[in-house]
Amino acid sequence: MSVDTIEIGHLLSRIALRDRKAFEALYVLTNARLFCLLKSIVKDEQIAADLLQEGFLKLWFGRPSYPINHPWAWLCQSMRNLAIDELRRARYTKEEFRAEPMNETDFLSVRPSHNPDAHSQKMQDCLLALSVEKRNVIVLAYEHGMSHQEIVKHVSTPLGTVKSWIRRGLMELKKCLN
């Protein structure tokens, strides 16, 4: 173990006890290298700086125990994971969804890629029995992973209506599947 690794491990153990001086010392010791790591992944200085701050906040407010064996590797991996999550969020928000409602042909194209069995066929039949609005918001929420706010923008419908369609659609699905 290098001196830095030993020192980082020692500082992390003190941070677990909420030692502010140790937190400041860890930041001074590691921020430049962690910033370079983040910047190499996200390719943007401002985003890298924001992620560095987020990472240190998670470190301070996070769990009270940290790995003893490889503290530097753990710290780098934690920051790397934040950067990858940020890239995924950015890619997801840039994806364009069709503005028009999905019709039955579009719905059939979002079928799971695995071999359909009797259960998935039953699910598909039940989804097709829903109104177009309910089916669309359920597919957007559960197949595309869109939040309620994203669905509201996509279908140009008030939030309460979207939530109601999802709730009622799920209730109808449950009834149909039983």
pLDDT tens digits, residue range 106-153?
444 444 444 445 557 788 888 888 998 898 888 888 877 788 888 888
In the CATH hierarchy, which fold is given to the domain comprising 1-97? Rna Polymerase Sigma Factor; Chain: A (1.10.1740)
In the CATH hierarchy, which fold is given to the domain comprising 118-177? Arc Repressor Mutant, subunit A (1.10.10)
Cβ-proximal residues to 148 (8 Å cutoff; 6+ apart), any chain: 141, 159, 162, 163, 166
- DSSP string for 77-138: HHHHHHHHHHHHHHHHHHPPPPSSPP-HHHHHTTS-SSPP-HHHHHHHHHHHHS-HHHHHHH
Task: Check whether 74 has a pLDDT greater than 50.
Answer: yes
Least confident of 31-45, 99-113, 131-145, 164-178: 99-113
What residue segments make up the domains of the chain, in order of their start?
Answer: 1-97, 118-177
pLDDT tens digits, residue range 92-102?
655 544 444 54
